[in-house]
Amino acid sequence: MTGALDSIAARLCAVDPGQAARDLADQSILDTAACIMAGWQTPQRRAVSAMLERSGNRGAGARALLLGTAAHALDYDDFEQPGSTHPSAVLVPAILAVAASEEVTRAGAEAAYVAGYEVILSLGLALGYGHYMAGWHATGTLGLIGAAGTAAHLLGLDRAATVSALSLAMTKAAGLKVQFGADAKAAHAGLAARGGVDAAYLAAAGLSAAPDAFDAPKGFAALYAPGPASAPPLASILDHPPYRKLSPACGYTLRAIEAAGEITHQPGFAAAAIEAVDIEIAEPYHDVAGIAAPATGHEARFSVTWCVACALTDGQVGLGHFTDQALSRPDLRALERRIRVQRYALPDGAGDVSPEAPERVTVQLMDGRTHHAACAVQKGGPGRPLDPADLMAKLADCGMTRAVADSFLAHPGTSGFSGAQILPPDIVAALP
């Protein structure tokens, strides 16, 4: 057997991550569990629960759908650059879903996370940023295939069955960026988690699939890449770690939020004295985060003008800035109307959230003075990981106690793993 899927499957089956990679997996599991907790009371999660109840849907796939939707509902979950996906909102729910009915060790969960994550990286590097720019929500395409890899690793599938799992995932991959700002976007992560888990269980049951699904003349690469795709390369989580968020908003708003926050600490700045604000942002990034005068919290998360208005007024952007109460604040609405956006072309060769294409914020005060700040790499991004205090503060913001986080981090290794270790009892009890 030859081809891209066989090469990916061979690497996936052999994954045995070192401690640094396991630490990243543990942080991702905790971060995503906290996002599930924060997203549990959202309308999107409630809708999925109602559907599962009415249809009688149960099992690992149903659990993955529910947990993935909750994880992504508030856009607080991490993302990665080569594939332009929200990886952990897909991979961690897949792990939790399988662990609810299979024996999974902590080491196995960590290795499965790394395996699925590196599948996403490899495919993202092969297809390039053009896959995302073409309109695909890569969380629903590449993320689904990564989830299949994660579940296949947990189920102990051999190389041939893993090829089938990945191939089945490719034939299910979907997700449209037109859904950004709508409830459906959160469901993309849940549907991807479910699709990956289902693909792995189908392969485990003996259902085969085309081994050349990636590189056949009319296969995945030919249909999903905007141009010629390269062979999926080896990719490491250590070279491309997850970008963790400090604000529950689209990743394309985060650098502008940080620049605006920096301005609030500059001498002489006063939010009440703002005359006008200019944001410079690359065109492809604004295409995603360019919703003006948002009417809902979903839309506000994809509004760089709203997020900057919140940051300049309150010094930070948190969960409370996307509620109906916040959206009715006259001060935020008035300031957002005074924010202008200057779009610029993405430099040749620059990709997703590229440091070569930073966000810049300029504030003009009523007395004529100006304040300026730029951000090329936001905190939580490459080379600027969240420190332990930042991570713990975010977990607390989502409702996770320090005791739960400390207990999880203090007990690594081969001990058993389940959602009961990191999720509240009411959420665990509600899983189908």
The CATH number linked to 364 is 3.30.1330.120
Which tens digits make up the pLDDT trace of 33-49?
999 999 999 999 999 99
Tell me the percentage of the chain whose pLDDT exceeds 70: 99
Tell me the percentage of the chain whose pLDDT exceeds 90: 93
What is the pTM assigned to this prediction? 0.95
Distance CA 273, CA 270 (A): 5
Which tens digits make up the pLDDT trace of 317-346?
999 999 999 999 999 999 999 999 999 999
**359-365, strands of its sheet edge to edge:** 339-344, 274-282, 359-365, 370-375
Q: Are residues 83 and 114 in the same domain?
A: yes
- Domain total of the chain: 2
What is the pLDDT, as a whole number, of residue 415? 78
Distance CA 104, CA 108 (A): 6
What is the pLDDT, as a whole number, of residue 1? 45
Distance CA 207, CA 200 (A): 10
Which tens digits make up the pLDDT trace of 73-114?
999 999 999 999 999 999 999 999 999 999 999 999 999 999
Q: Using an 8 Å Cβ cutoff, are 372 and 360 in contact?
A: yes
Q: Are residues 163 and 89 in the same domain?
A: yes
Instruction: Please state the rounded mean pLDDT for residues 152-168.
Output: 98
Q: Using an 8 Å Cβ cutoff, are 84 and 132 in contact?
A: yes
Q: Are residues 184 and 68 in the same domain?
A: yes
- Residue 249 CA: distances (Å) to CA of 341, 347, 401: 18, 24, 23
Least confident of 189-203, 302-316, 382-396: 382-396
Which of 375, 393, 410 represents a domain boundary (last residue)?
Answer: 375
Q: Are residues 94 and 18 in the same domain?
A: yes
Q: Are residues 16 and 151 in the same domain?
A: yes
Look at residue 411 and tell me whether its pLDDT is greater than 90.
Answer: no
What is the pLDDT, as a whole number, of residue 2? 64
Distance CA 86, CA 240 (A): 13
Distance CA 319, CA 338 (A): 23
Instruction: Please state the rounded mean pLDDT for residues 109-123.
Output: 97
Which of 330, 358, 375 represents a domain boundary (last residue)?
Answer: 375
Which of 375, 395, 421 represents a domain boundary (last residue)?
Answer: 375
Q: Are residues 302 and 257 in the same domain?
A: yes
Which structural domain range is residue 369 located in? 251-375
Q: Are residues 241 and 280 in the same domain?
A: no
Instruction: Please state the rounded mean pLDDT for residues 222-241.
Output: 92
Q: Residue 181: which pLDDT band, with cuts at 50, 70 and 90?
A: confident
List CB contacts of 158: < 8 A, sequence separation 6 or more. Answer: 13
Q: Are residues 87 and 222 in the same domain?
A: yes
Q: Are residues 64 and 139 in the same domain?
A: yes
Burial of 68 (0-12, 13-18, 19+ CB in 10 A): buried
Distance CA 157, CA 149 (A): 10
What is the pLDDT, as a whole number, of residue 410? 85
| Mean pLDDT estimate for the chain | 95
What is the pLDDT, as a whole number, of residue 349? 86
Q: Are residues 128 and 190 in the same domain?
A: yes
Q: Are residues 256 and 358 in the same domain?
A: yes
Q: Are residues 209 and 277 in the same domain?
A: no
What is the pLDDT, as a whole number, of residue 413? 64
Burial of 328 (0-12, 13-18, 19+ CB in 10 A): exposed
Given 3-state DSSP classes, what are the helix, strand and coil percentages for the chain, each rounded to the nearest 5? Answer: 55, 10, 35
Output 91 or 416, whichever has higher pLDDT. Answer: 91
Instruction: Please state the rounded mean pLDDT for residues 198-212.
Output: 98
Range list of H helices, 291-329: 297-300, 304-314, 324-327
What is the pLDDT, as a whole number, of residue 409? 87
Phi, psi at residue 232, to the nearest 5°?
Answer: -55, 120
- Residue 291 CA: distances (Å) to CA of 151, 296, 336: 36, 11, 11
- Residue 340 CA: distances (Å) to CA of 49, 277, 415: 41, 6, 53
Q: Residue 414: which pLDDT band, with cuts at 50, 70 and 90?
A: low
List CB contacts of 149: < 8 A, sequence separation 6 or more. Answer: 8, 12, 115, 116, 119, 162, 165, 166, 196
- Tokens for 335? 């300031």
